[in-house]
């Protein structure tokens, strides 16, 4: 394998750091560009940063710095992003600047300045789908129902219905061909990132891929950041002997994928042109109810803590969405290898070595104050 110069924006973060480790292990020269967002990295550079990678602390909006790094590298994994659905609904300027404008800055450099980039991989998100794909329980008719009406949610009637016929629906895997129905500023900005990168890639013949991540979990997720993934939020609650708070009835489902499987998919993309100029789902294809996630974490932690099922809803939440990962499997030969229980065991073992400050109540109060719960 030929060693390459690879830039990973957001490479000090959860997913980025595992990708960096994998690329370094493969013998590549890796540069990390990360601003060390205080909400994610309150103590500065994390101790897991790979010492064999070059770390540059800086912002992707710094054109001079970004331009220099794009000249020095031939592949860029653009993972730098402001993350969090609820928070994006009231930190609008921050999310649009970090995600949409940050990606625009990179693309403007690639179009208008000298650079060495031969491939761009951008982190996109399943959140841009909104509700996933469904089918009628009786008819088998495929439906994209959109958000449930507030009146239905207020009645505690959680499952989806065909908006035209009222038929009950069941979720089925969502393929990349389904249109976006973004329900948050975060989801919109992730769609912007994906669409801009693929558009400019096609226009200027820069091979580009958008990876639509589903619910990624694993070690190095910030356990003290109440806007991170649900598995990490549940972990911080349980470690502090508090019941994980679950909205609706707990049967809403997501597609949880280990960060190791995500890093493997990302790494494989650089060695193949099979997905160039395309978006691709990165998920297991296996939906897991949210209440089951809470119970699995408690079980692995050895604690008899039941989730606090609220039977309340948050504005903009979707009921079910999980990946049709056929494209990734068939075109890249990738398969998810980490089972959910094995992944949770690894997360719990890692969490025993780090501090987990439970800030859920603070975050929930903030969402309530903004009228989102």
CATH code, domain carrying 349 = 3.40.50.720
Q: What is the 3-state secondary structure (H, E, C) of 64-107?
A: HHHHHHHHHCCEEEECCCCCCHHHHCCCHHHHHHHHHHHHHHHH
Query: Could you say which of 173, 205, 234 is where a domain stops?
Result: 173
Other Cβ atoms less than 10 A from the Cβ of 314: the count is: 16
Does 239 share its domain with 305? Answer: yes
Does 248 share its domain with 120? Answer: yes
Query: Could you say which of 146, 173, 200 is where a domain stops?
Result: 173
Does 97 share its domain with 223? Answer: yes
Please check whether residue 125 is in contact with residue 187, taking contact to mean a CB–CB distance below 8 angstroms.
yes
Does 205 share its domain with 219? Answer: yes
**Which residues of the chain are under the pLDDT cut of 50?**
359-360, 363
- pLDDT tens-digit map of 152-204: 999 999 999 999 999 999 999 999 999 999 999 999 999 999 999 999 999 99
Alpha-carbon span 120 to 50, nearest angstrom: 22
- Give the structural domain span for 255: 5-132+174-311+321-369
Other Cβ atoms less than 10 A from the Cβ of 354: the count is: 16
CA distances to 87, 195, 236, 301 from 245, in Å: 17, 35, 11, 17
Does 84 share its domain with 226? Answer: yes
Does 189 share its domain with 116? Answer: yes
Residue 359 pLDDT: 47
- Domain annotation covers residue 316: no
Residue count (the chain): 373
Tokens of 277: 């100029």
- pLDDT tens-digit map of 81-109: 999 888 899 999 999 999 999 999 999 99
Spell out the alpha helix ranges (H) of 249-313: 259-269, 290-301
Does 187 share its domain with 269? Answer: yes
Alpha-carbon span 153 to 319, nearest angstrom: 11
Query: Could you say which of 124, 142, 173 is where a domain stops?
Result: 173
What letter does residue 129 receive in the DSSP assignment?
G
Does 229 share its domain with 108? Answer: yes
Does 220 share its domain with 153? Answer: no
Alpha-carbon span 68 to 73, nearest angstrom: 9
Q: Give catalytic residues, as residue numbers.
A: 186
- From the list 277, 299, 288, the residue with the least C-alpha distance to 345 is 299
Please check whether residue 329 is in contact with residue 283, taking contact to mean a CB–CB distance below 8 angstroms.
no
Please state the φ and ψ torsions of residue 152, each to the nearest 5 degrees: -70, -40
Alpha-carbon span 256 to 230, nearest angstrom: 10
Spell out the alpha helix ranges (H) of the chain: 14-25, 63-72, 85-88, 92-95, 102-112, 150-154, 185-204, 230-239, 259-269, 290-301, 326-332, 340-351, 360-369
- From the list 83, 38, 39, 319, the residue with the least C-alpha distance to 186 is 83
* Total number of domains constituting the chain: 2
């Amino acid at each position: 394998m030929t060693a390459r110069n690879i830039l990973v924006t957001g490479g000090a973060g959860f997913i980025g750091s595992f990708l960096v480790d994998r690329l370094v292990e493969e013998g590549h020269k890796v540069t990390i560009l990360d601003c060390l967002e205080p909400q994610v990295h309150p103590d500065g550079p994390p101790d897991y940063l790979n010492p064999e990678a070059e770390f540059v602390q800086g912002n992707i909006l710094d054109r001079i710095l970004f331009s220099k790094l794009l000249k020095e590298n031939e592949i860029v994994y653009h993972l730098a992003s402001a993350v969090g659905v609820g928070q994006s609904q009231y930190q609008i300027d921050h999310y649009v600047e970090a995600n949409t404008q940050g990606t625009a800055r990179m693309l403007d450099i690639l179009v208008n300045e000298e650079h060495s980039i031969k491939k761009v991989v951008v982190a996109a998100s399943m959140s841009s789908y909104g509700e996933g794909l469904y089918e009628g329980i009786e008819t088998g008719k495929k439906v994209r129902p959109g958000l449930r009406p507030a009146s239905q949610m207020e009645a505690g009637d959680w499952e989806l219905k065909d908006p035209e016929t009222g038929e009950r629906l069941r979720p089925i895997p969502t393929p990349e061909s389904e249109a976006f129905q973004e329900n948050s500023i975060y989801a919109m900005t992730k769609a912007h990132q994906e669409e801009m990168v693929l558009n400019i890639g096609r226009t200027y013949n820069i091979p580009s891929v958008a990876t639509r991540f589903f619910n990624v979990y694993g070690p190095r997720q910030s356990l003290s950041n109440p806007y991170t993934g649900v598995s990490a939020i549940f972990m911080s609650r349980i470690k502090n002997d508090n019941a994980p708070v679950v909205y609706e009835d707990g049967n809403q489902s997501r597609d949880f994928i280990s960060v190791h499987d995500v890093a493997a998919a990302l790494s494989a993309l650089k060695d193949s042109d099979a997905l160039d100029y395309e978006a691709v789902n990165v998920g297991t294809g296996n939906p897991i109810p949210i209440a089951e996630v809470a119970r699995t974490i408690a079980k692995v932690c050895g604690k008899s803590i039941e989730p606090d099922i609220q039977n309340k809803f948050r504005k903009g939440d979707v009921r079910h969405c999980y990946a049709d990962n056929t494209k990734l499997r068939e075109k890249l030969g990738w398969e998810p290898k980490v089972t959910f229980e094995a992944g949770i065991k690894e997360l719990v073992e890692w969490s025993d070595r780090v501090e987990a400050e439970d800030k859920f109540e603070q975050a929930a109060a903030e969402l309530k104050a903004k009228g989102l719960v």
